[in-house]
Structure 1
Amino acid sequence: MKKIMKPLMAGWLALSLAGCGTNTQTPAATTTPSSEPAVETDVLVIGAGGAGLAAAAGAAENGAQVLVLEAGSFTGGATRISGGHMAMLNEEMNAAMDRNDDQLDVYLTYTPEEFGEWGEALTTLQEQIHQYQASAEAGRFDSVEMMLVDHYLAGRGKDLAGVEATQDYTLVKTALDANWDIFEWLVSGGMEIKDTYYKSMAGAMHANTPVDGGAGLINALQKLAEDAGAQIVFETRATELIEEDGRITGVKATNKDGSEVLYKAKSGVILATGGFASNGELCAKVQRVGTGLCAENGSTNPATNIGDGILMAEAVGAQTRDMQFLTTVIEGYHGSSSIAQAGTVTANKQLTVNADAKRYGDETQASLTKLTNNQPKGVGFYIGDQTMIDQMNEAKEGFVEDMQDRGFMFVADTLEEAATMAGLDPQALRATVDQYNSYVEAGEDPDFGRKEFNGKVETAPFVISKLEMHYHLTFGGLVIDTDAHVLDEAGQPISGLYAAGDVTSGYEGAAHQSGDCLSVVVYYGKTAGVNAALGK
């Protein structure tokens, strides 16, 4: 991996803390036709993860000849090792469930003014809830507007400079409005759904989980793509976009044996290379992480997710944003067979301390990830009680016991005993928790300005979860429109260039909400493929 990363990193200079873009010096794209023989196709897809396979299927189903270049030796990317949860408005499942009136009142406490352009969804949702609560309608309430409001609430956050992460309402709404069409398309590819909801600890209960998780989703997408005639070339990494007369017409790529091959696309090139969580140097750079501990610890992502799609697009003038927003997961997830439960602990957002048993930030803000990396010994600790234990085990049965066995959670009848087990000073932790509880009671946090609280930490047993960070998801990247065109710095489409998935930005904000992410990824993957095939 180092042989690949070093030349890519050579171009990265100082990055804006505000995340408005990356200030880079990269090799210019090839702008003159090469005399070398090229492999020609209609649509060229770079990356065979969830977005790439959806793009390949969408293009091939619309009559295009499609080639997919995959840098790794297998399909799926980060999607394959995810839980595969898809946020879908499943009316059949909702009708079979009990009413959920008690879960809806919280949505009535918000005002549209708090939500900016997302206030449109909140207003509609509140009207829907009033109608539902006034009716005798059986079944569980759900709606696209509820998905949108949950998505906004989960993704709100600022960086260390106080800059809000981008949440593009139109981009997300367009995808979620089409959620059932995407679901039926995936089922036509053989995807089977479990008859249970995936309950997110962020509050959402919209997701449908494929049998075999992310692998089940990928298998369906690959079948759709290959049945329609798309071909996949493995262990071939695109290194440079080819630009001719102001249009992207192909890529230079390196094969497994190191030889360079030109691939030309008559209709369009689609970037679906994923995020950059496996590029520790870049992650540390965009965050301004001084210790680089996450870079040393590694990533949950495939080794191929190093941000090369972003870099190639920047070389032809593509706009980027929110590069500083990313998330990490705790050590106990690293190397596991699935990252489906990533964020289970952090979604709880109770009380966080460092190795000195001191709080170091507002636990509800995305910037806490960055702050954790710079704490003494590079670790943090989540502190909770019976409520936190119940929520974690509800999200994943046996989760707490599993993490205890791995040595990353410590449970005891007293806070002091749990502190001793975790290597924290019992008296110092008791003082910090007592102070935090007083803030909860007062409803304000004079230390870090936290505004939302989940309750006091006071009911035995107590749990402490060690946070040793690994890069997990990156939320910044290329800017696209609702047709999946890559936009330049002026906000105009770059002719012949499309993108989808984690190489893009604007749909997650500052934090990840399981379910919505993959729905958006698959939608824009398919959209990119269809539009490239049809020349739109």
Structure 2
Amino acid sequence: MKEILAQANGHNGPIAFGIKVDNDKMTNIEVKQHSETPAIFKQVFGKLKESILEEQSFEVDVVSGATVMSKAILESGKQAVNQAGVSLPTPKPKAKKVYKGHVDVAVIGGGEAGLVAACRALSLGKRVALVEKNGYLGGATILNGSNVTATGSKVAQKIFGDNNDSPDLLASDVARECLDTNTVEMTQLMAQNIGDAIDFISNFADLHYQKAQTQTPEHSVQRQVELPSSSSYELITKVADAFVKKGGKIFLDSRVEEMLYDEDKKPIGFIAQGHNKKVIVYADAIVLASGGYGANEKMRGQENQGINYYGPMTSTGDAFDFLKELDLKTQNLDWYKVYPHGVQTEPGRAKLTTYASKKATDMGAIYVNKLGQRIVNESDVYAKLRNAVLEQPEKIAYLVLDEKMWQEFYQLLVLHDFNEEEIAKYFALADKQPPLFVKGTLSEVATKAGINPQALVATVTRYNEFAKAGQDSEFGRSKEMLHVYEGDVFYLVEQRDRFATTLGGFSARTDLRLQTKDGHKIANLYGAGEVVAGANGHDSMPSMMNTWGISSGYIAGTNAAKLS
């Protein structure tokens, strides 16, 4: 038995792995190091590993939605075993597989909304199949946390007790925060059903929600919950595993290319294509949960120009093409959810720092601009922080941290989508490429960031005086959020606004059936998740996209099952 080491160039850095070989047979492949998005990498590497060991070859299909990463791993592995003199068998050509069948309910899209819809229909005794164009599950959800509201649920009652929350209060908060741009009946639908939806999926997939570590001020009461890992990967994997174990069928690497209709233009199924396979599904009811269109630059409006995208590059709005024949009604396709708390990792691309940034401001950190001036009450709602950053030159602000703040900030970066090597690289290359992460005295970090040192020193000095006095005379930050900076070592982290979520989409009625432009309901076509517009208006509060995904999936799955 020997181990051959290989290293691929991943999207975020090197991917090191070991290939264990015994008598020219590969017995295992183990990851040593990587900097990729964990929730995607775990699924992609796992699928590649399974194929490689089964075929005893690195000449296997790439994983859809992660082509670059897949090719890098396969090519580096092949090169490593060849250089080690290992003789592997030549893989046999594969015939294209064709899957064809009829189910009661078919779901298009394997993100949060699609999985919940599929589970709900399955729980009601229906035969259910789900197709996902990527070779892994999760959609846009896989890049987010598991933070969601639990209003009206037994889960919330157990966690928060009687805290005076209600569906009406949740709906009121949504309307207030989006400035009444929401579709009222869709918001009510979401608020009235999220409690039942959370209880359902918790029981179905054995999920154990707990109080979320972040309770954001947009919500008028504490109602946000999350899974123990805080990760949506836990949600996706547990829900998918439960669905399959209870009889559901999942087709990965299956992109819907064509809808099938009867003579009255009623959808009766679809054809999906993948690597060496074709999937033909006929269904009594179809749930569309194919996600948003943030990665489709042709569909982007003027509103989000110059703002970094941090969502999956596979969010391309495919449904707007394969359902074109139905001439479906849409609304607000130029609306996007723009968040603060991002760092630019490459031109036009960002990673979120929400958990870390929120923790830092809870500890008293401030935001400054290129002039070294504070720009906002750092503890206010996200929308005000976002807008303050958008008003700055180049739409950039800087988070100022002392050593104590940095340690907490750093730990949460590593916990959520960053790794130690990646962060070290940011510091090493801060003067050459974004994002900007710098350390030193206050004057030194200002100089490295191109900020006037005297102005930044004056700003921090003034803020410290506010903190000592317990009163922020500049922005009115609450006393409990005012903390004096300590020590002589400071960190400056660039912060940019970013978006992943699209808020426009298809129009639906309260049964979530999609409708044509002339108002005709499609009898058996339901929408769920990001592909359906209206519930959160022009500006969703924190946790509300997950709330919409889970509640709409639950409703669509229920109604599709009733129809079939």
TM-score range for the pair, normalised by the shorter chain length: 0.5 to 0.7
Per-residue CA shift, 1:46-105, capped at 9, x if unaligned? Answer: 1111111111122223333322111011222232343212311466776777xxxxxxxx
What does residue 79 of structure 1 align with?
A: 141
What does residue 308 of structure 1 align with?
A: 318
CA change 1:195–1:56 in 2 (3 A) is closer
Which residue identity is paired with 1:59? Answer: A
CA change 1:96–1:485 in 2 (3 A) is closer
Equivalent of 1:56, from 94, 118, 125?
Answer: 118
Alpha-carbon contact 1:379-1:466 (below 8 Å) kept: no
SS at match of 1:530: helix
Alpha-carbon contact 1:48-1:76 (below 8 Å) kept: yes
CA change 1:79–1:247 in 2 (3 A) is same
Q: Percent identity?
A: 20
What does residue 281 of structure 2 align with?
A: 263
CA shift, 1:214, in A, is 1.4
What does residue 426 of structure 1 align with?
A: 453
What does residue 199 of structure 2 align with?
A: 184
Cα distance in 1 for residues equivalent to 2:525 and 2:189: 20
CA shift, 1:230, in A, is 2.3
Unaligned 5+ segments in structure 2 are: 1-61, 66-97, 428-435, 467-471
Give 1:309-458 correspondences, 5 Å limit: 309-315=319-325, 316-327=327-338, 330-331=342-343, 342=354, 345=357, 355=370, 378=394, 380-383=396-399, 396=412, 406-407=426-427, 408-409=436-437, 418-427=445-454, 441=473
Alpha-carbon contact 1:201-1:344 (below 8 Å) kept: no
Cα distance in 1 for residues equivalent to 2:155 and 2:390: 44
**Greater alpha carbon shift after TM alignment, 36-45 vs 502-511:** 36-45
- Name whichever structure is richer in strand by fraction: 2
Equivalent of 1:518, from 541, 546, 550?
Answer: 546
Cα distance in 1 for residues equivalent to 2:290 and 2:354: 21
**Greater alpha carbon shift after TM alignment, 48-57 vs 516-525:** 516-525
SS at match of 1:189: helix
Which residue identity is paired with 1:474? Answer: T
Alpha-carbon contact 2:329-2:516 (below 8 Å) kept: yes
Cα distance in 2 for residues equivalent to 1:313 and 1:344: 40
What does residue 214 of structure 1 align with?
A: 232
Which residue identity is paired with 2:170? Answer: M
SS at match of 2:316: coil
SS at match of 1:424: coil
Per-residue CA shift, 1:170-215, capped at 9, x if unaligned? Answer: 3233333333322332232233325443323445432222234312
Alpha-carbon contact 1:277-1:306 (below 8 Å) kept: yes
Cα distance in 2 for residues equivalent to 1:222 and 1:319: 30
CA change 1:497–1:358 in 2 (3 A) is farther
Residue 501 (str. 1) matches residue 529 (str. 2): yes
Which residue identity is paired with 1:309? Answer: A
CA change 1:333–1:149 in 2 (3 A) is farther
Per-residue CA shift, 1:96-140, capped at 9, x if unaligned? Answer: 77xxxxxxxxxxxxxxxxxxxxxxxxxxxxxxxxxxxxxxxxx67
Equivalent of 2:163, from 141, 145, 162?
Answer: 141
Which residue identity is paired with 2:257? Answer: T
CA change 1:367–1:502 in 2 (3 A) is farther
Cα distance in 2 for residues equivalent to 1:490 and 1:344: 47
CA shift, 1:41, in A, is 3.0
Alpha-carbon contact 1:300-1:470 (below 8 Å) kept: no
CA change 1:251–1:374 in 2 (3 A) is farther
CA change 1:528–1:224 in 2 (3 A) is farther
Per-residue CA shift, 1:294-339, capped at 9, x if unaligned? Answer: 3xxx6342x32211124434553232325332325522789xxx98
Equivalent of 1:253, from 266, 272, 291?
Answer: 272
Unaligned 5+ segments in structure 1 are: 5-35, 98-138, 157-163, 444-451
Q: CA RMSD in A?
A: 4.9
Which residue identity is paired with 1:264? Answer: Y
Cα distance in 2 for residues equivalent to 1:391 and 1:510: 35
Alpha-carbon contact 2:310-2:351 (below 8 Å) kept: no
Cα distance in 2 for residues equivalent to 1:515 and 1:389: 25
Q: TM-score, normalised by structure 1?
A: 0.64
Per-residue CA shift, 1:232-269, capped at 9, x if unaligned? Answer: 11111113434441422223432223x7655332x222
Which residue identity is paired with 1:330? Answer: G
Residue 193 (str. 1) matches residue 208 (str. 2): yes
Which residue identity is paired with 1:320? Answer: Q
Alpha-carbon contact 1:366-1:510 (below 8 Å) kept: no
Equivalent of 1:275, from 268, 273, 292?
Answer: 292
Alpha-carbon contact 1:191-1:217 (below 8 Å) kept: no
CA change 1:506–1:140 in 2 (3 A) is same
Q: Which protein is bigger by CA-based radius of gyration?
A: 2
SS at match of 2:140: helix
Alpha-carbon contact 2:174-2:541 (below 8 Å) kept: yes
Which residue identity is paired with 2:102? Answer: E
Which residue identity is paired with 2:396? Answer: G
SS at match of 2:136: coil
**Greater alpha carbon shift after TM alignment, 499-508 vs 85-94:** 85-94
**Greater alpha carbon shift after TM alignment, 196-205 vs 367-376:** 367-376
Alpha-carbon contact 1:85-1:198 (below 8 Å) kept: no
Which residue identity is paired with 1:253? Answer: A
Alpha-carbon contact 2:529-2:550 (below 8 Å) kept: yes
Q: TM-score, normalised by structure 2?
A: 0.61
Give 1:145-184 correspondences, 5 Å limit: 145=167, 146-153=169-176, 155-156=177-178, 166-184=181-199
Alpha-carbon contact 1:250-1:264 (below 8 Å) kept: yes
What does residue 532 of structure 1 align with?
A: 560
Which residue identity is paired with 2:259? Answer: L
Alpha-carbon contact 2:142-2:236 (below 8 Å) kept: yes
Alpha-carbon contact 1:48-1:69 (below 8 Å) kept: yes
SS at match of 1:502: helix
> 1 or 2 for the larger relative contact order (CA 8 Å, sep ≥6)?
1
Cα distance in 1 for residues equivalent to 2:503 and 2:213: 22
SS at match of 2:206: coil
Cα distance in 2 for residues equivalent to 1:514 and 1:362: 18
Q: Number of aligned residue pairs: give it.
A: 431
Cα distance in 2 for residues equivalent to 1:214 and 1:423: 37
What does residue 479 of structure 1 align with?
A: 507
Cα distance in 1 for residues equivalent to 2:108 and 2:525: 11
Which residue identity is paired with 2:141? Answer: T
Alpha-carbon contact 1:191-1:216 (below 8 Å) kept: no
Cα distance in 2 for residues equivalent to 1:501 and 1:82: 14
